[in-house]
Amino acid sequence: MDELYFFLEVLIGGLLSGTLYSLVALGFVLIYKASGIFNFAQGTMVLFAALTFVGVLELGAPALLAAVVTLAVMVVLAFAVERFIFRHMVNQPQVILFMATIGLAYFLEGLGQTIWGTEVHVLDLGIPDRGLWLGPILVSQFDLVAAAVVALLVAGLGVFFRTTTMGRALRGVADDHQAALSIGIPLHHVWVAVWSVAGFVALVAGLVWGSKLGVQFSISLVALKAIPVMIIGGFTSIPGAIVGGLIVGASEKLAEVYLGPFVGGGLENWFPYMLAMLVLMVRPEGIFGEKIIERV
Amino acid sequence: MTDATTATGPDDASGPLLSANNIEVVYNRVILVLKGVSLSVPRGGITALLGANGAGKTTTLKAISHILKGERGEVTRGSIVYDGTETESLTPSDLVRKGLVQVMEGRHCFEHLTVEENLLLGAYTRSESRAERREQLDKTYAYFPRLRDRRHTQAGYISGGEQQMTAIGRALMARPRMILLDEPSMGLAPQLLAEIFGIVDRLNREEKVSFLLAEQNTHAALKHSDYGYILENGRVVMEGASEQLTENSDVKEFYLGLGESGRRGFRDAKHYRRRKRWLS
């Protein structure tokens, strides 16, 4: 019986930490869906948002104000990215756009360091980080709160995409740029909107990760975990990002605990990538990836 | 027109709704696709733009709607005047707002959106109340009753004819004054095509929508239009009232497949003769 409880504990812990991967993957998926760009800078955006938030907080602002200011900064960033980078790259091959986002990543990293310095900042949002006994199973309270935040965010995005005109326009542009142009949807509005939403997601991710690990540059590397998440879940699917994150989180913890002893540990770091490779071989579009609709 | 030298303003209801004057289009800065095309569409008219594959019909429409800019194409000469205004500095979005909407070749529905979501997005440029939008949606469903049955289906899964209807309906949601309709016949059975052209006629009569209709199906297009232009190699080689074009022996021979000596295919037409007659 203890064996089972232990298994459940590892599983639940994994799932909960997986929601954090989902959060980062979500930002990638949004931009990829609307513009076909794999935004390498998403991880840096998470870091940049967290740094800005902590910076404003340390200036003495209350948390809510700091969040609003940071969000405004992310929206300005979205405008700037569209105006100064992508407007000049319409119709370039995807790989060129991808390269531009690599440049953007380094730029943002440098900018963040210049403004807010390089030391590690502690971020305490007052989320309790104690163990909580659910019957015989121990779970982290922090992870529970984080998971709830992610769930709320996803539900909100779902409503936004289904019911608002801008949300529908974003999905429309993701489907067919030309059709969107032909009915008068200005692509640059849509790009600014989607980068703003991705900036918002980055802010939430930055706050959660930042208060877990401290706000430091390794946060931008956490984003690398989003890659297997997206490969498993599918690059174009929001539910895919969620489920992918859960799978990665659960599987890496289970692998570490149950397979680790046989190979000397350290599985956690590479197991998700191996899983992603398997998925690529079996189902290249990912579990929820949109298959190209073909009528026969 | 009484006086050709007076500039026509937006309020001048006598000028054509749309006119293209000697436009030249270059792709990738080197490939000359349109070599001086002039045409006009009167207010309330249906004008057909005919010609074989690659003649420049789609390019002409995209030049007018300004979608060309996104495809490395460029209007290098000539002017396009819509409703009395030179359109050069306008974006595709501005043009839609002014009531000039394109329905692209191959439908281009938003495949993963439902039919109704497709239609609703058509009203993107309209700042109108929910009730007004609802009313326009009902009107669109009245023109295309099949779409009402399919409203919650993803557009990628409906039939080709229904997709064509969705695309036209989506344009209708923008409350257009003019629709640029590109190749509606593509891949449609004759009966469906007749249905769609019937709706085009009705939209023209009842909603006062003017059409510029690019078609390879010369027979159907001439039947449903008032005036026609024939495009070949990026030039207008012939124009005239649709009934006249239908009767014209060259059109009969090369586009309708009816030679003097009975039915004949386009393939049998002697190439040198076509060039000689039209391009000399």
Average pLDDT of every residue of chain A: 88
Euclidean distance between CA atoms A71 and A206, whole angstroms: 12
Q: What's the confidence (pLDDT) of residue B73?
A: 86
Euclidean distance between CA atoms A190 and A125, whole angstroms: 32
Q: Report chain A residues whose CB lies below 8 A from the CB of B103.
A: 182
Euclidean distance between CA atoms A20 and B27, whole angstroms: 47
Instruction: For residue B84, count CB atoms less than 10 angstroms from its CB and return exposed for 0-12, middle for 13-18, buried for 19 or more.
Output: middle
Q: What's the confidence (pLDDT) of residue B13?
A: 58
Q: What's the confidence (pLDDT) of residue B123?
A: 94
User: CA of A295: which chain B residue's CA is closest?
Assistant: B157
Tell me, yes or no, whether A89 lies in a domain: yes
Q: Do B110 and A175 touch (CB under 8 A)?
A: yes
Domain coverage including residue A161? 2-225
Please report the DSSP string for B105-152 in residue order.
Answer: TT----TTSBHHHHHHHHTTT----HHHHHHHHHHHHHH-HHHHHTTT
Please report the DSSP string for B199-235 in residue order.
Answer: HHHHHHHHS--EEEEEES-HHHHHHT-SEEEEEETTE
Q: Is B89 helix (H, G, I), strand (E, B) or coil?
A: coil
Mean pLDDT of B8-19: 68
Q: Do B121 and A184 touch (CB under 8 A)?
A: no
Tell me, yes or no, whether A290 lies in a domain: no
Total structural domains in chain A? Answer: 1
CB of B193 closer than 8 Å to CB of B147: no
Tell me, yes or no, whether A251 lies in a domain: no
Produce one character per residue of B267-277: b if its CB has 16 or more CB atoms within 10 Å, e if not.
Answer: eebeeeebeee
Q: Is B42 helix (H, G, I), strand (E, B) or coil?
A: coil
* pLDDT band at B71; cut points 50, 70, 90: confident
Q: Do A176 and B156 touch (CB under 8 A)?
A: no
Residues of chain B with pLDDT > 90, as a percent, come to 66
What is the Cα gyration radius of chain A?
20
Q: Is B6 helix (H, G, I), strand (E, B) or coil?
A: coil
Tell me, yes or no, whether A287 lies in a domain: no
Q: What's the confidence (pLDDT) of residue B2?
A: 42
Average pLDDT of every residue of chain B: 86
pLDDT of B58 over the 80 cut: yes
Each residue's pLDDT expressed in tens, for chain A with a length of 296 residues: 788 888 999 999 899 989 889 988 999 988 988 877 889 999 999 999 999 999 999 898 898 999 999 999 999 999 999 999 988 887 677 889 899 999 999 999 999 889 988 888 888 887 777 788 877 888 888 888 888 988 999 899 889 988 899 999 998 988 888 899 999 999 888 889 999 999 999 999 999 888 888 888 888 877 788 889 999 998 888 888 999 999 999 999 999 989 888 888 788 888 999 999 999 888 888 888 766 555 54
Q: Report chain A residues whose CB lies below 8 A from the CB of B111.
A: 175-176, 293
CB of A170 closer than 8 Å to CB of A36: no
Residues 6+ apart with CB under 8 A from A116: A51, A52, A54, A55
* CA atoms B84, B90, B94, B99: torsion sign: positive
Backbone angles phi, psi at A85, to 5 degrees: -115, -65
Residue B275 Cα, gap to closest chain A Cα (Å) = 35
Euclidean distance between CA atoms B274 and B268, whole angstroms: 11
Q: What's the confidence (pLDDT) of residue B257?
A: 66
Tell me, yes or no, whether A263 lies in a domain: no
**Residue A173, token pair as written in the block:** 């542009």
Q: What's the confidence (pLDDT) of residue A69?
A: 96
A283–B contact, CB cutoff 8 A: no
Residue A87 Cα, gap to closest chain B Cα (Å) = 11
Q: What's the confidence (pLDDT) of residue A105?
A: 94
B22–A contact, CB cutoff 8 A: no
Bridge partner residues of B40 (DSSP): B19
Euclidean distance between CA atoms B117 and B121, whole angstroms: 6
Residues of chain B with pLDDT > 70, as a percent, come to 86
Of residues A227, A267, A220, the one with CA closest to residue A244 = A227
Q: Do B112 and A290 touch (CB under 8 A)?
A: yes
How big is the A-B interface in CB pairs under 8 Å?
A: 91
Backbone angles phi, psi at A197, to 5 degrees: -60, -40
CB of A42 closer than 8 Å to CB of A28: yes
* CA atoms B176, B177, B182, B185: torsion sign: positive
Euclidean distance between CA atoms A265 and A261, whole angstroms: 6
Tell me, yes or no, whether A184 lies in a domain: yes
Tell me, yes or no, whether A296 lies in a domain: no
Please report the DSSP string for chain A in residue order.
Answer: -HHHHHHHHHHHHHHHHHHHHHHHHHHHHHHHHHH----TTHHHHHHHHHHHHHHHHHTT--HHHHHHHHHHHHHHHHHHIIIIIGGGGTT--HHHHHHHHHHHHHHHHHHHHHHH-SSPBP--------EEEETTEEEEHHHHHHHHHHHHHHHHHHHHHHHSHHHHHHHHHHH-HHHHHHTT--HHHHHHHHHHHHHHHHHHHHHHHHHHH-BSTTHHHHGGGHHHHHHHH-TT-HHHHHHHHHHHHHHHHHIIIIIHHHHTS-HHHHHHHHHHHHHHHH-TT-SSPPPPP---
Tell me, yes or no, whether A132 lies in a domain: yes
Q: What's the confidence (pLDDT) of residue B147?
A: 95
User: CA of A185: which chain B residue's CA is closest?
Assistant: B93
B71–A contact, CB cutoff 8 A: yes
pLDDT of B116 over the 60 cut: yes
* pLDDT band at B8; cut points 50, 70, 90: very low
Cβ neighbours, 10 Å, residue B186: 15
CB of B39 closer than 8 Å to CB of B47: yes
A167–B contact, CB cutoff 8 A: no
CB of B230 closer than 8 Å to CB of B237: yes
Bridge partner residues of A140 (DSSP): A131
CB of B173 closer than 8 Å to CB of B120: yes
Euclidean distance between CA atoms A289 and B3, whole angstroms: 61
Q: Please give the single-letter amino acid code of residue A61.
A: A
The tens digit of pLDDT for each residue in B167-212 reads 999 999 999 999 999 999 988 888 999 999 999 999 999 999 999 9
Produce one character per residue of B119-150: b if its CB has 16 or more CB atoms within 10 Å, e if not.
Answer: bbbbbbbbeeeeeebeebbeebbebbebbeeb
Number of Cα atoms under 13 Å in the Cβ half of residue A293: 15
Q: What's the confidence (pLDDT) of residue A294?
A: 54
Q: Report chain A residues whose CB lies below 8 A from the CB of B157.
A: 293, 295
The tens digit of pLDDT for each residue in B33-57 reads 999 999 999 999 999 999 888 889 9
Q: Do A182 and B111 touch (CB under 8 A)?
A: no
* pLDDT band at B7; cut points 50, 70, 90: very low
pLDDT of B265 over the 50 cut: no
Give the nearest partner residue to A184 out of B92, B104, B111, using CB atoms: B92
**DSSP letter, residue B66:** T
